[in-house]
Amino acid sequence: MKAEKIWMDGKMVDWDKAQVHVCTHALHYGSGVFEGIRAYETESGTAVFRLKEHIDRLFNSGKILKMVIPYSKEEFRQAVKDTIKANKLKSGYIRPLIYRGFKELGVSPFKCPVNCTIAVWEWGAYLGEEALAQGIKTKISSYARIYINSTSQKAKICGNYVNSIFAKMEAIEAGVDEAILLDTNGYVTEGSGENVFWIRDGVIYTTPTATVLEGITRDSIITIANDMGYQVQEKYICRDELYISDEVFFSGTAAEVTPIREIDNYQIGEGKRGPITENIQKKFFDIAKGKEDKYLTWLDYI
C-alpha cells in the first residue's frame, strides 16, 4: 500500500514524508475522526462514491468530538479531489483523518491543534475478490460492541476501533474472515467495519442505527433495494435469527456488498452468495461504476 502524495494540512507531501510527532494526542488517546471513501473507474473517468455524505459524516464526527475543523466542507471535498488527481488514482480508497495533534499530553484534547490529512491508494476488494462471489465465514464475537453510552456510535472515532480490532483479531485467530458483534444486551449490531443485512422470506432486514455506525453503503442499499421493489425493515434481533436467515451480507465502503456464507459454523442458506444478495450487489457495482443514470447524483467526478 503506497501512493505518491498525501494531503497534510493544506499541502501535498511526499508519501514517505507524511509523518507526525510521537507525542501526537491522537496516537496516545485515539482522539481522531476519519472516513473511508471509495473512488471507482467509470466510462467518464474516476468518480468518488457519495463524497458529500462522507464529508458530512466526517464533519459530524468532528462536531461530536468537539473539534473546530479549520476547513469548510467544500474545501475538504476539493482537497479529496486534488489528492486523487495528485496521485493519478483511477480507483481505490480515500482516507481522510482529522486528529488532535501535539501541544501537550494529558487526556483533555482542547489545547491540541486539529490537524487534517487525506491519503489515497489503490485498493481492491477488502475481503478478497473471492469473498464477493462466494461469501465469507464469520463468527459472533466474544467482544460486545462498545456500550452506547461509553462513546458515540454516530461518530467514526479512531479510539472506537480498538473494539473492532479485538473482534477482528479474535475472528482471524479463530480461522474466519470477520466478526459480528452483539451489543451489551445481546442484540446483533455490526461487523468490525461493516453493517449487516439479512433476508428472510424475501424481506430484507438490517439493524436500527442507534447501536451501529450510520453506514453510507447501508443507506445506499436501503434505497437501491426499495427501488428494486424489495421490502426493507429495521429490526433488533438476537444471533439465532441470523443462523436461520436465507441470506446474510455485510455492507461497507471497504467491504462493498460481501455475502456471508457461514456464522459460528452454521451454514447460511445454501452456503454461498444468495440470489437477492447477488441482485443487490450487481446493482450496487453498476451504480458505483456510473452505469445507472438514475443514481448519477451519488457520483462526484474528478
Identity of the residue, 112 or 216, whose beta carbon is nearer to ligand PMP in the bound complex? 216
Identity of the residue, 56 or 82, whose beta carbon is nearer to ligand PMP in the bound complex? 56
Q: Which of residues 157-186 bind ligand PMP (CB under 6 A)?
A: 164
Smallest gap from Cβ 178 to ligand PMP, in A, equals 11
Identity of the residue, 101 or 258, whose beta carbon is nearer to ligand PMP in the bound complex? 258
Buried b / exposed e over 172-183, threshold 16 CB at 10 Å, is eeeebbbbbbbb
- Provide the angle, in degrees to the nearest 10, between the axes of the packed helices 216-227 and 51-64: 140
Using rule CB under 6 A, residue 96 touches ligand PMP? no
Among candidate residues 204, 253, 263, 260, the one with its CA nearest the CA of residue 34: 253
Residue 235 phi/psi, 5° resolution? -155, 140
Q: Identify the active-site residue in 5, 156, 168, 283.
A: 156
Figure out which of the listed residues 32, 193, 259, 290 binds ligand PMP, where binding follows CB under 6 A: 193
Figure out which of the listed residues 31, 61, 253, 258 binds ligand PMP, where binding follows CB under 6 A: 253
Q: Which three cell numbers stand for residue 261?
A: 456464507
Figure out which of the listed residues 190, 197, 206, 211 binds ligand PMP, where binding follows CB under 6 A: 190
Among candidate residues 228, 227, 266, 219, the one with its CA nearest the CA of residue 246: 266
- By CB atoms closer than 10 A (0-12, 13-18, 19+), residue 222 is buried
Strands 136-140 and 114-121: unpaired
Figure out which of the listed residues 24, 87, 195, 245 binds ligand PMP, where binding follows CB under 6 A: 195
Stretch that binds ligand PMP, among 22-30, 68-76, 210-218, 261-269 (CB under 6 A): 210-218
Q: Which of residues 223-252 bind ligand PMP (CB under 6 A)?
A: 251-252
Please give the Cα distance from 242 to 1 (Å, whole number).
35
Figure out which of the listed residues 194, 206, 222, 259 binds ligand PMP, where binding follows CB under 6 A: 194
Strands 92-100 and 37-42: antiparallel
Smallest gap from Cβ 300 to ligand PMP, in A, equals 15
Q: How many positions of this chain bind ligand PMP (CB under 6 A)?
A: 15
165 to 3, 75, 132, 170, 192: CA distances (angstroms): 25, 32, 22, 8, 7
Q: Which of residues 114-153 bind ligand PMP (CB under 6 A)?
A: none
Identity of the residue, 101 or 252, whose beta carbon is nearer to ligand PMP in the bound complex? 252
CA 215 to chain centre: 7
Using CA atoms in the order 147, 238, 155, 125, what is the torsion angle rounded to 10 degrees?
Answer: 130
Please give the Cα distance from 132 to 47 (Å, whole number).
21
Using rule CB under 6 A, residue 215 touches ligand PMP? yes
Smallest gap from Cβ 206 to ligand PMP, in A, equals 11
Identity of the residue, 86 or 232, whose beta carbon is nearer to ligand PMP in the bound complex? 232
Using rule CB under 6 A, residue 216 touches ligand PMP? yes
Is 156 an active-site residue?
A: yes
Catalytic (active-site) positions? 156
For ligand PMP, the binding residues (CB under 6 A) are 36, 164, 190, 193-195, 212-213, 215-218, 251-253
